[in-house]
Chain A
């Protein structure tokens, strides 16, 4: 278990400059075997925060406990030893260019015979499905292959924790998918606790069950991924969700005066957002039949987040106003958030 309490890390460019609060009073608890996402725009302090876990950055104050051991109080030798049990992978992979794949993965292995090292490295390379490249140099590998080697290297000393610092941000979407799948598999197979730092919503949606949103050195929202993304509370989180949702296109259509969104008198345009995980009823057709109104779907965007549906639709209601209002009440009773975008009047 990883426990951060009131962690603060400031940077000062010059002695007399005011401090930049890279991490500002962050408390977090990450359970064993969990894949925990930390998401935020660049400069939010995510990378500094994750480095406070293995003390690559020493916090100015606060406590960092791993399995009950206070990391900030360890002596240097003990810290080096503790770090072997916390793997880390990076955006730029950080493989040693003068060493082959085999030598890179063997780098952290110590106190073993040559044969033991050979066996261990081959096991690791097989685990990340790149066994055929052991004699290649990093410069001969693609981005995805490099990250697989980096993962093998990070797992060399059988860590219980894997820190992923923007591990897929330098990869194309397809490769990102395969690396995320690999991380998911490793989490299941080895019971690894993972901390995933990213600015990509897709990554968090894909592999995390719990996440925290970070902005200006603080955690502004945290909880299970579904709740964060279906019902964001903080403006920054909303902004994040919006940038990845198709539903935000409606604002552009309205701005461009598109004929698609021109309302006739009596019509009402609204965004219907699903907040709960159990949307399986035919909500549109039911309301249309039940209240005898027309519901025209302009945009729809539904995604699977943490195994449940998140998203919504933008619709235009057409019909007598009191019946439209009844339909809206019906939706609200089903825990669907209704945001009126435009109203052409009764």
Chain B
């Protein structure tokens, strides 16, 4: 298409690199997202059931987890990126490219998602938990059959928000050699002043965020009665 060559001259010359950047961003999202989902869900549940008045009240566990999450939430991500490089090298064998950035992404977003899960589960009516216990449910049954099942919609919303904020983190990770769309936009759009590349990357991100938001809202609504 000749029109595109005129409109987006720099991008069209770097199309293969652009597609690879898109793929890298998706890779980072998928890998770190999956790990964050598992850890965040577990931590969110532990926070909910061990907090004072919870069904498995346990002060030491709650206090320790609560403080660790606060600690990691207060460290700016750009610092976490560099600080965790040794750990990343140790676990993943490298501190650069997609593989090298999974560890900081997980450390950066798990605390956020844990809090999101905690607040989603907190919306569960205490009466439901009480009713389930009165019917002879064990605490584990209450977790799976009441907490998780009854707060499916808010959990889906928490996942949506986390995926979107993770997208922002992957762009930042690009700055330290992770690749992906953020890196692509900074190297060409910003450093070499190729405005068309900046615009296209931003548009792709806007579309991505909108799709995630729409899907999240759709499934959340489907699970609300």
Closest to A110 in B: B136
- Of A56, A81, A96, A150, chain B has the most CB atoms within 10 Å of the CB of A96
Query: Which one of B7-15, B18-26, B96-104, B146-154 is at the A interface?
Result: B146-154
Any A CB within 8 A of the CB of B131: yes
Interface residue SS majority, chain B: helix
Q: What 0/1 pattern do residues 186 to 225 of B give for CB contact below 8 A with A?
A: 0000000000000000000000000000000000000111
Any B CB within 8 A of the CB of A76: yes
Do A96 and B134 have beta carbons less than 8 Å apart? Answer: no
Do A80 and B150 have beta carbons less than 8 Å apart? Answer: no
Q: Can you show 19 pairs from A to B with CB atoms below 8 A apart?
A: A54-B134, A56-B130, A76-B138, A80-B138, A81-B136, A82-B136, A87-B134, A87-B135, A88-B131, A90-B127, A94-B130, A96-B146, A96-B149, A96-B150, A98-B150, A137-B225, A139-B225, A154-B135, A157-B136
Q: How far is the CA of A76 from the CA of B55 in the complex (A)?
A: 13
Sort chain A's interface into a size bin.
20 to 34
Q: Which residues of B contact A92 (CB under 8 A)?
A: 125, 127
Q: Which residues of A contact B137 (CB under 8 A)?
A: 80, 108
Do A86 and B134 have beta carbons less than 8 Å apart? Answer: yes
CB distance from A94 to the nearest CB of B (A): 4
Q: How far is the CA of A94 from the CA of B129 in the complex (A)?
A: 9
Q: Which residues of B contact A163 (CB under 8 A)?
A: 134
Q: Which residues of A contact B134 (CB under 8 A)?
A: 54, 56, 83, 86-88, 154, 163
Do A56 and B133 have beta carbons less than 8 Å apart? Answer: yes
| Chain A, 141-181, CB within 8 A of any chain B CB | 150, 153-154, 156-157, 163
Q: Which residues of B contact A96 (CB under 8 A)?
A: 128, 131, 146, 149-150
Using a CB–CB cutoff of 8 Å, the interface residues on chain A facing chain B are: 54, 56, 76-77, 80-84, 86-88, 90, 92, 94-99, 107-108, 137-139, 150, 153-154, 156-157, 163
| Chain B, 78-94, CB within 8 A of any chain A CB | none
Closest to B135 in A: A108
Q: Which residues of A contact B125 (CB under 8 A)?
A: 92, 94
Do B127 and A80 have beta carbons less than 8 Å apart? Answer: no
Q: Which residues of B contact A99 (CB under 8 A)?
A: 149
3 smallest A-B Cβ distances: which pairs? A94-B131, A84-B136, A108-B135
Q: How far is the CA of A301 from the CA of B210 in the complex (A)?
A: 68
| Chain B, 105-153, CB within 8 A of any chain A CB | 125, 127-128, 130-138, 145-146, 149-150, 152
Q: How far is the CA of A56 from the CA of B130 in the complex (A)?
A: 7
Using a CB–CB cutoff of 8 Å, the interface residues on chain B facing chain A are: 125, 127-128, 130-138, 145-146, 149-150, 152, 223-225
Do B128 and A94 have beta carbons less than 8 Å apart? Answer: yes
Q: Which residues of B contact A84 (CB under 8 A)?
A: 135-136
CB distance from A11 to the nearest CB of B (A): 11
Q: Which residues of B contact A108 (CB under 8 A)?
A: 135-137
**Assuming A98-B223, A98-B225, is B135 touching A153 (CB within 8 A)?**
yes
Closest to A84 in B: B136
Q: Which residues of A contact B128 (CB under 8 A)?
A: 94, 96
**Assuming A76-B138, A107-B145, is B152 touching A98 (CB within 8 A)?**
yes
Q: Which residues of A contact B136 (CB under 8 A)?
A: 80-84, 108, 157
Q: Which residues of A contact B149 (CB under 8 A)?
A: 96, 98-99
Closest to B223 in A: A98
CB distance from B105 to the nearest CB of A (A): 32
- Of B132, B136, B146, B150, chain A has the most CB atoms within 10 Å of the CB of B136
Q: How far is the CA of A96 from the CA of B127 in the complex (A)?
A: 10
CB distance from A117 to the nearest CB of B (A): 14
Do A97 and B135 have beta carbons less than 8 Å apart? Answer: no
- Of A81, A83, A90, A98, chain B has the most CB atoms within 10 Å of the CB of A98
